[in-house]
A and B are shown apart, each in its own frame.
Chain A
Amino acid sequence: MRKKQAKKQAANKIQLIAEVEMTGQIIIPVGDAVAVVRQNNRLFFECTRCSNDYGDISIGDPKMNAIMREKSISEVNPWNKYGKADQFVVREYYCPKCGIMISANMQKKDEPLMMDMELSKL
């Protein structure tokens, strides 16, 4: 049932950027846009759409080598103009090569960046 559903969704999927063949074998997915892959005994984070190398798994989170923009919360949802749009921001993280968004965190403007995860050594 789930496989059928996933197949249907995949058929509907719009290609934003031409998907390229991954460099290595996927060991761990990180959502759909990033994966931990293995190539020649090296484990690293790779963009699933453009094969950008985010760096070794030891960096913990591919965000470390991503690019980011900070937006006021009111820029991402019209209802948010009723919130404290001057105090809270959404930090969007993208692949530096193809621009796909891999993470978005809502935080207070003056708070340090937040990582999503830190994978242990495999």
Chain B
Amino acid sequence: MKATKKAASIDLITFEVLKNRLWAINDEQANIAFRTAGTLIVYEVRDMNAAITDRDGRGMYLACFNNTLAVTVQAGVKSILASFSKDFIREGDMFLFNDPWQGSVHYCDYTMVAPVFNQGDIVAWSGVSMHEVDVGGQVPGSIFPLAKSAYEEPVIVPAVKVVEGWEVQQDIIKLVCRTSRLPHLLQLDILARMSAIRAANKAIKGLVEKYGEDTFLAFTDQLIGHIRDSILDRLRKIPNGTWYESDYIEHDGLNDVSYPLKLAVTKKDDKLTFDFTGTSPQAPGFINCTLSAVHGQISVVLLSMLGYGLPYSAGALEQLYDVIIPEGSIINASFPAPVALGAIGASWNVRQMTNTCVGKMMACSKELKDYTMADFTAVWNGALMAGITEKGEEFTDIVAEAGGGGAGARSNKDGIDTGGPLDMPGQGIPDVESTEYNYPVLVLWRRESKDASGPGEFRGGSGMEYAMVPYKAGFVMLIVLTAAQYQPGAMGICGGLPANVQFNAVLKNTGIWDRIKSGEIPVDLVDLGGEMDIKPPKSMGPMALDEVLFAVRCGGGGYSDPLLRNPELVAKDMKEGLCSIEVARDIFGVIIDPVTLTIDKVATEKTREEIVHQRIVEGRPVREVLVNEKKAG
């Protein structure tokens, strides 16, 4: 690679043409990746993403699927540039890695990146990351809840050339796939990454040839600068100050302990500082994460909440924020701490706290208040059903229905029901038929759940509930990997309340198969009956073939006082099965006739007045509570 060229400024028309062309290339790259992939979690759920960086690895674009994954492309490229000599990186090379200390979020998220060369110079990089169903290790799904160190987790692959000089390295692919219980699917996904990167890099190279290298390099600097300045303009509309949030993650697989996390976000002039002081040291079990996951989570919140309307450029954020996290923290784990849950472990709490702090921060800006959002659904309510079908074939179902959480409330509108997590705007859940076609299960029901959202003048989006039973299975093991089960996981802001807890449970003694054989399909928990056995948030064990898996997912946090909610909206929620009569009365202060579902306006007014009166009579002055806290030490 030649010495850095001084980039000249380019005209606005060329800038816009290149900006939109590269944006389209990134979109096409992501589309090729998921359309050619082999696993349901990628081709239908789209737990993947694609990104384009500049020659130094500064992220310029990421597509709209799993955005945390795409930020790993930036971290991976920077790590490769730092680890290898310039001569080692050649045209036609593609690197594959899953090392959480080298950019990956956790082992299942294999990322592939490749440089774009022009006349001997690296001019850009592109990459694709995908969640793999199985990358080996002690349990199907590769997230072993009882691991005590990284050496008990799946094989760590630092960046290796999986393609060298356009030659596919068959031996490397065989080595990587040999570790998996589903090697054929992993191989298909590796090839999908290659196809997407090949197409993107060819298109980028075409642009460089058409416009010239100097113009292209000038464009990359200008684009990142333009996005940075646009976000900065928004940041400057927020007063200087510090915003606080705290959270917990329960159970590390080995110990049933709740680990605290704390965040203080300080906005001073043109800079944000994310200070995690007070956050727990790393846990003995697998809920830890590495710095790459933290940067991924902070970036997705900032890009979603302050970078709207712009290409998602993680590189543009580099000069806008700093982080303070001691090494050896639960969110900056030192090797060889176990980190297999990383992406859906403690790193997710980082996103929750960042979402809430930035939401509160934006609510303090006249210009940005209309764009603020409360916390989106809590951590992935993970459950895996794995085992053997009645034909003796291995299967692993990452019950991807768990993606159906609710979006955070906006300051002028409810959150989107089952809108999904903040970082996954383009992610979905599988079609019921796809689930039943791919895995030995029968889905009994799934729906947006009653009371599964954070109340507020504008409520959070509703989370989903679902129930499924093994069908034509020989043996099933249930692995539960969730959090926000002991405490709500999505916070409200500005007087809005947090959403519900989430969990996975097994229903026993329901007589499900006799009922199905007689033509009866239970439609909800009451109808299903039986005994509910709520599984610990991290657990694994066999599941009987007549047991039903039931799960409820966390909704989004609410915005502003629920007593200010329009009673008509509460009645509408009741009609749609999203709000119970008790929550309407006790939380929203709205009295609705259970039969006609009409609002009793007089009773509603009276109830709301009584609730307000109760608040004033029972409320203790905060200063008094603080003094008592101090006295108590």
Binding site for B on A (CB under 8 A): 2, 5-6, 9, 12-14, 16-17, 26, 28-33, 63-69, 73, 76-80, 82-84, 87-88, 90, 92-94, 96-108, 111-120, 122
Contacts and interface: CB of A to CB of B under 8 A. Distances in A.
A65 B622 CA distance: 6
Contact of B503 (A17, A82, A97): A82
B363 A29 contact: yes
Interface string B367-398: 00110000000000000000000000000000
B398 to A, nearest CB: 23
B256 to A, nearest CB: 10
B488 A104 contact: no
A120 B239 CA distance: 8
Q: For chain B, which range describes its interface: under 10, 10 to 19, 20 to 34, or 35 or more residues?
A: 35 or more
Contacts of B517: none
A32 B562 CA distance: 13
Nearest to B264: A118
Interface in B414-454: 451-452
B36 interface: no
Contacts of A117: 241-244, 360-361, 364
Interface string B252-265: 00000010100000
Nearest to A77: B500
B501 A98 contact: no
Interface string B483-508: 00111100111111111111100000
B615 A99 contact: yes
21 contacts: A16-B608, A28-B365, A65-B622, A67-B620, A77-B583, A78-B580, A79-B502, A80-B488, A82-B503, A82-B534, A88-B488, A99-B613, A101-B563, A102-B561, A105-B246, A106-B491, A116-B360, A117-B242, A117-B243, A118-B244, A120-B242
Contacts of A17: 612
B2 interface: no
Contact of A83 (B366, B501, B616): B501
B301 to A, nearest CB: 17
Contacts of A84: 486-487
B488 A6 contact: no
Nearest to B491: A106
B587 A76 contact: yes
Interface stretch (B56-64, B70-78, B199-207, B623-631): B623-631
B488 A68 contact: no
A105 B566 contact: no
B120 interface: no
Contacts of A122: 239
Contacts of B31: none
A31 B248 contact: no
Q: Which 8 A-B pairs have the closest CB atoms?
A: A31-B494, A67-B619, A79-B500, A99-B612, A83-B501, A120-B240, A88-B487, A101-B495
Please classify the interface of chain A as helix (H, G, I), strand (E, B), loop, or mixed, using the class held by over half of its residues.
Answer: mixed
Given A101-B563, A106-B487, A76 B497 contact: yes
Contacts of A12: 566, 568-569
A93 B457 CA distance: 16
A14 B629 contact: no
Nearest to B359: A31
A94 B615 contact: yes
B411 interface: yes
B126 interface: no
A68 B625 contact: yes
Given A5-B413, A6-B412, A118-B242, A66 B494 contact: no
B565 interface: yes
A106 to B, nearest CB: 5
Given A65-B623, A78-B582, A88 B360 contact: no
Contacts of A103: 494-495
Given A16-B564, A94-B615, A104-B496, A79 B366 contact: no
Contact of A67 (B260, B365, B616): B616
A118 B370 CA distance: 21
Given A14-B564, A67-B620, A68-B625, A29 B365 contact: yes
A111 B455 CA distance: 24
B234 interface: no
B541 interface: no
B497 A90 contact: yes
B347 interface: no
B567 interface: yes
Interface in B602-625: 608, 611-613, 615-616, 618-623, 625
A83 to B, nearest CB: 4
Contacts of A2: 370, 412
B549 interface: no
A80 B586 CA distance: 15
B613 A78 contact: no
B560 interface: yes
Contacts of B194: none
B268 interface: yes
Contact of B486 (A66, A87, A119): A87
A94 B364 contact: no
